[in-house]
Structure 1
């Protein structure tokens, strides 16, 4: 459906912004009209690279009349403050994961948006890609029978090895749970719906890390969050999941995502990607059968923003919405609290599965 493109401002022009801008600059649903960053040179560089007409600080882009939707790609500690500033100016806002640092912050953002009559959205939007949508369709079609459980592993040695400025990934709002967990927990939510309770354990493998790439290679920095988390998750619809998120593993493993049902097991692709093989193995099968995944060359970070833009123009709900993103914050916080206190933790928030 052709729609009048929604004017977008990208706030935060760091490493991840290039993946978003590469998608948004080539989609008809949106028009990127402004870039903002605390570093003026970085905002100017991103604007020049992607043909964005305006660049400056946050106040500059929020005052721009053509900006309707703010894409909030700042560091996690700034997610809620920037979202609230955008909402206060009457802008819709889509926030990089995590949606906020705490459930209280997330609720504050949702309440402010509702009062202002604007929309909220949140990453990840990878669950809208062809790979995870094929997975969801297979489960919905009953190809595994009744879903019973899932096992998810996301582990590796940590992003300090490749990220030039990795400190924020090892501070509050980071760690494997808050940095990588949203991809896997959102995919599970798309499959099973809201979480009811969790139990977890965590550990910190190393008290400090060494930057392994970029101009600051060799610099050490402290680690202030757990870097290995194991959790049990119960869903209101019935299934349970076992998840492992780790920055302490010597063996990288990001694509172990299996859903077991009464009739078969389904192996889903890495939820941090938009495609990949989907494989099915029934109880009587001796090997896996691949389920074809549609070719979707337009998938990329930002498709949730494009879906949100269409929703704004056509007055229909969008999929990567604030309620879902806030629920994932609630789940991650419950996992963290369970590990810290050694008890099950209830999850009281919810969302409507679309």
Structure 2
């Protein structure tokens, strides 16, 4: 197989909403993957999307899932429909890559993992932002011992929801939505990628408003009911003993706090979020490092702000919005019979963590996490070139 050009991995898109544009733009850059059909509940919406992105066929959902020429379903439906579409695709012997969250019910998640395993199919899931250059740089620093043994982590997102920029934000405030399920997957996946699986959690939550008003687009001024908590605080303990805290909120008008930090015996890695909506939620951006040595000031005045932080050089690719990268990696994983990095196992583990955080305020106790997951291998610095040139030497580690 060495030196062979991989056969095209044929993908059928289900769900033609706003998020599909960046997936289709990213995947169009790679000849190894071809989106050959798209579908949504609105056939006209599918036709428009197909015309915009040069997709040959606009079909019904049933037709895409049943098509024997399609290898994989890209599931970009709303959260409440994720499990059903994924189940139907697996039953049709299709690999699946889905948007986050993995599911909205733990039983559904376990069923889907078991079904994929029984049928020998790959089941991948967003977010794949941890494959971007910023997060690969963070992982490299940890693996190289730049901060010594990691001991803690902190994540904070303070934003005031989605109604200011999304024309149809209702689902963010319905079952399956809220800041924990919407933003939490990015931050928790980054934590697992850098620190490993999570052992137990605690949490508190509330909501500031029972109704919220859409502030853009054709529905400007329309009111929505809020069915979920919109301000979530959590405590997290990892299997390796590290501990952390996380705030995910749609109820904060502004904050100077947003950032993601990992603390170690010998230093700190900081991922600043200039825009609180786009931090672990993105592939790129600076990584700051402060070590034991650079934190010693002797009798000199202590530096403030960004002074004395080292901006770490980024040697990795994908320093732009590259949603869909996880699906490209899954295509190679199918070809080479290796684990996919943005895996269903990790997505299920992250969902169980979020589900436990959401249950913790009512239970009033720490919630133990029953699942675990393999920690994904770092992405080769020259991916996908390394996979094309010599697939047998691709990194198969978990």
Range of TM-score over shorter length? over 0.9
Deviations 1:236-267 (Å, cap 9, x if unpaired)? Answer: 01111100000000115685001110110101
Q: Could you say if the C-alpha distance between residues 268 and 102 of structure 1 is closer, same or farther in structure 2, counting changes exceeding 3 Å?
A: same
Q: Could you say if the C-alpha distance between residues 117 and 320 of structure 1 is closer, same or farther in structure 2, counting changes exceeding 3 Å?
A: same
Deviations 1:160-206 (Å, cap 9, x if unpaired)? Answer: 11111101011111100000000000000001111110000001011
Distance across 1 between alignment mates of 2:63 and 2:234: 43
Deviations 1:200-231 (Å, cap 9, x if unpaired)? Answer: 00010111111111111110010000000000
Q: Could you say if the C-alpha distance between residues 165 and 196 of structure 1 is closer, same or farther in structure 2, counting changes exceeding 3 Å?
A: same
Written as runs of structure 1 = structure 2, the 5 A alignment for 1:1-354 is 2-251=5-254, 255-268=258-271, 270-285=279-294, 286=303, 287-294=308-315, 296-297=317-318, 300-354=322-376
Aligned residues of 1:76 and 1:97 also touching (Cα < 8 A): yes
1:27 deviation in Å? Answer: 1.3
Equivalent position SS for 2:46: helix
Aligned residues of 1:72 and 1:82 also touching (Cα < 8 A): yes
Aligned residues of 1:106 and 1:326 also touching (Cα < 8 A): yes
RMSD: 1.4
Aligned residues of 2:284 and 2:318 also touching (Cα < 8 A): no
Distance across 1 between alignment mates of 2:96 and 2:47: 22
Q: Could you say if the C-alpha distance between residues 225 and 253 of structure 1 is closer, same or farther in structure 2, counting changes exceeding 3 Å?
A: farther
Distance across 1 between alignment mates of 2:316 and 2:258: 19
Distance across 2 between alignment mates of 1:182 and 1:298: 20
Task: Identify which range, 341-350 or 81-90, moves more after superposition.
Answer: 341-350
Aligned residues of 1:275 and 1:293 also touching (Cα < 8 A): no
Q: Could you say if the C-alpha distance between residues 202 and 177 of structure 1 is closer, same or farther in structure 2, counting changes exceeding 3 Å?
A: same
Aligned residues of 1:11 and 1:74 also touching (Cα < 8 A): yes
Distance across 2 between alignment mates of 1:211 and 1:312: 42
TM-score (norm 1): 0.97
1:268 deviation in Å? Answer: 2.4
Distance across 2 between alignment mates of 1:81 and 1:253: 40
Distance across 1 between alignment mates of 2:71 and 2:257: 36
Q: Could you say if the C-alpha distance between residues 329 and 160 of structure 1 is closer, same or farther in structure 2, counting changes exceeding 3 Å?
A: same
Distance across 2 between alignment mates of 1:290 and 1:38: 46
Paired positions, count: 354
1:332 deviation in Å? Answer: 0.3
Aligned residues of 1:35 and 1:54 also touching (Cα < 8 A): yes
Equivalent position SS for 2:371: coil
Task: Identify which range, 338-347 or 218-227, moves more after superposition.
Answer: 338-347
